[in-house]
Amino acid sequence: MKQTSLCIALGLALALLAPMAAQAKTVKVSMTAKEVETPIDNKGTMYRSWTFDGMVPGPVVHVEEGDIVEFTLYNDKSSKNSHSMDFHAARVDVVKDFEQVKPGEKGSYTFRADYPGIFYYHCGADPMIQHIARGMYGAIIVEPKDKKAMPKADREYVLIQSELYQNPDNQAEMMDNKWTNILFNGGIFKYDPVHDPAATRMLQAKPGERVRIHFINAGANEFASFHAIAGIWDRVYPSGNPKNQLHGLQSYVVGPGDASSFDIISPVEGANALVTHSMRQALTGGIAILQFTNDADPKMGRGENILVR
C-alpha cells in the first residue's frame, strides 16, 4: 500500500517535471569578430569598423526565457586586436567568461537566459570605449516564456543608437565626448529620407497595428531621450521585461548600455519620426521614419527584417 502511493507520488512528480525539463533547450550561438569596412551613411561612406560577423550592428540573437545559451566567439585571424563578448542577458564571471580572445583563437561560455526582455551585447575588450565606437554591439531578445505576459506585437523593430567618432584610435576624442553624429543601426539618418534624400529605407506598419521598437543605447557616452514625433508610446517596458510596464509616455530615457521596448499604435495613416529628442543628437543622424500605411510591406518588421539592414 505504502509502496503504491510512493510510486504514484513519484510518477506524478516526474509527469510534472518532464515538461519543464523539456522546455529548457540549449541554443548554440557563435559569432566571429571581424575588422572590416562598413558604410556609415546612405551615400556609402566607408568606415573602419570592428564588428561581430562583419555587420554593424551584429546579428540579432533570439532565445527564449530559460534557454541555455552556449556561446562561442571566434576572432578572425585577420584581426589586429583581441575582442570579447559581454551579453547583458548573462549572469557569469566577468573575468573568466568575458575575457579577450586573441586573433585566430576562440572563446566559449554558457549562460541561462533567466530574464526575458531586450538586452544589449557588446565587445568588452580594452579599451572598451573604442571597441563600442568601432561598432561591436548588437541585440539579444529573450522571449518571455509566458506568451500572454505582454500584448502580441504585429511588427517588431530593433533600433540601436550609437555615437560616431571620426578617429576612435584617438581615445582622448572619445573621452572628451567629441562625437560628430548619432547613428541608428550603424548609419546616419539611415531611415530618414526627410533629412537625407539618399535614404531609401524606412520602418513600416499599418495603422492600428501594435509596433514594438526594441531600442538599445550602445553609447558609448550619451543618454537617449527616445520620442515618437506625432505619436505616443502606448507602453514602455524597461529592459523589455513584461513585468515592467509604463503607459502613455511621450519620451523615455535610455542610458548608455541600457535598452527598453516601446509599443506604438497609430490610429491614422502618415509618418511618425522616431528620435532621440536631444536636438544635437537628432539633427546629426538620430531620426528614423516610421511610416504608417495601409500598403505596408508584410515582410517589414518580421523575421529578418526586425533589424532593417
Nearest 5°: the CA angle 136, 61, 246 is 95
Least Å distance, CB 50 to Cu ion, is 5
Residue 307 in the binding site for Cu ion (CB under 5 A): no
Cα–Cα distance for residue pair 309/305, rounded to 1 Å: 8
x/- mask, Cu ion, residues 133-152, rule CB under 5 A, reads ---x----------------
Residue number, 168 or 187, with CB nearest to Cu ion: 168
- Interface with Cu ion (CB under 5 A), residue from 34, 131, 190, 212: 131
Could you give the CA distance from residue 155 to residue 36 in angstroms, rounded to a whole number?
Answer: 31
Cβ nearer to Cu ion, comparing 82 with 181 = 82
In the list 69, 113, 125, 275, the residue contacting Cu ion (rule: CB under 5 A) is 125
Which is nearer to Cu ion, 123 or 211 (by Cβ)?
123
* Beta-bridge mates of residue 35: 50
Question: Which residues have CB under 8 Å from 147's CB, separation 6+?
Answer: none
Is the CB of residue 38 less than 8 Å from the CB of residue 118?
Answer: no
Beta carbon of residue 30, minimum distance to Cu ion (angstroms, whole number): 16
> Is 89 a residue that touches Cu ion (CB under 5 A)?
no
Query: Closest-CB residue for Cu ion?
Result: 123
Find the binding residues for Cu ion in span 46-85 (CB under 5 A). 83
Smaller CB distance to Cu ion: residue 81 or 272?
Answer: 81
Could you say which of 61, 85, 123, 202 contacts Cu ion (CB under 5 A)? Answer: 123
Give the nearer residue to Cu ion in terms of CB position, either 64 or 99.
99
Alpha carbon distance 252, 254 (integer Å): 7
Q: How far apart are CA 115 and CA 291, in angstroms?
A: 32
100, 126 contact by CB (below 8 A): yes
